[in-house]
Amino acid sequence: MSRLIRNAVSMLLVMTVITGIAYPLLATGVAQMLFPHQANGSLIDRNGKPIGSELIGQYFDDPKYFWGRPSATTPQPYNGTASNGSNLGPSNPALRDAVQQRIDALRKADPGNAAPVPVDLVTASASGLDPQISPAAAQYQVARVARMRHVRVEQVQALVATFTEGRQLGLLGEPQVNVLRLNLALDGLQAR
């Protein structure tokens, strides 16, 4: 019996070292060598200070900025420690009410915009942390952002085009626009 216990404890210690220490160190080392930017959180610096990550959405509610996809995290939006979806199904009245409130807020912020509201501006993702929006969602906001910044619509459209990322490997996913990168570039635009 004592031999079985000794073997079990020995195996526990060996597996703890392999899976709890050696493998994480190896995986971290490989990630640091091959993908250092991503392995360190894909942080974006401004004036030597990190201001956000390319991988986690940021909360923007000022009309002079592009707004990202709604966040389902609580108690604050885009809370990386509370990543989750709302778990509300399409027939749930709470989801319909939330979507309608978001549509109303978008219409209020840009009353002259009669275009259909893109779905990603009114529904949260499964993670609640999406850093990107669709090109359609960006185009929906171009006129408002240009008006609030006193710049030409063409300038803002050019920035959206610059920050639109294509499909991964040319075929995976959909084109998307990183909201934080786009908003940082907007701050460099000159008024007309």
The pLDDT tens digits for 114-124 are 999 999 999 88
Task: Quote the pLDDT of residue 46.
Answer: 84
pLDDT digit string, tens, across residues 103-148? 999 999 999 899 999 999 998 877 778 899 999 999 999 999 999 9
> DSSP label at 43?
E
Instruction: Examine residue 123 and state whether it is found in any structural domain, yes or no.
Output: yes
Q: Judge residue 95's burial from the number of C-beta atoms within 10 Å of its C-beta, 0-12 exposed, 13-18 middle, 19 or more buried.
A: middle
- Under DSSP, is residue 177 helix (H, G, I), strand (E, B) or coil? strand
Instruction: Examine residue 2 and state whether it is found in any structural domain, yes or no.
Output: yes
Name the band, by pLDDT with cuts 50, 70 and 90, for residue 192.
Answer: low
Q: Judge residue 30's burial from the number of C-beta atoms within 10 Å of its C-beta, 0-12 exposed, 13-18 middle, 19 or more buried.
A: exposed
Domain that holds residue 93: 44-186
Mean pLDDT of 23-35: 95
Instruction: Examine residue 191 and state whether it is found in any structural domain, yes or no.
Output: no
Q: Is pTM, for the whole model, over 0.85?
A: no
Instruction: Examine residue 8 and state whether it is found in any structural domain, yes or no.
Output: yes
User: Nearest CA to 133 among 78, 82, 67?
Assistant: 67
Residue 106 CA, chain-centre distance (Å), reads: 19
The total domain count for the chain is: 2
- Return d(Cα 186, Cα 64) in angstroms, integer: 9
Identify whether residues 19 and 55 lie together within a single domain. Answer: no
Identify whether residues 8 and 93 lie together within a single domain. Answer: no
Identify whether residues 105 and 14 lie together within a single domain. Answer: no
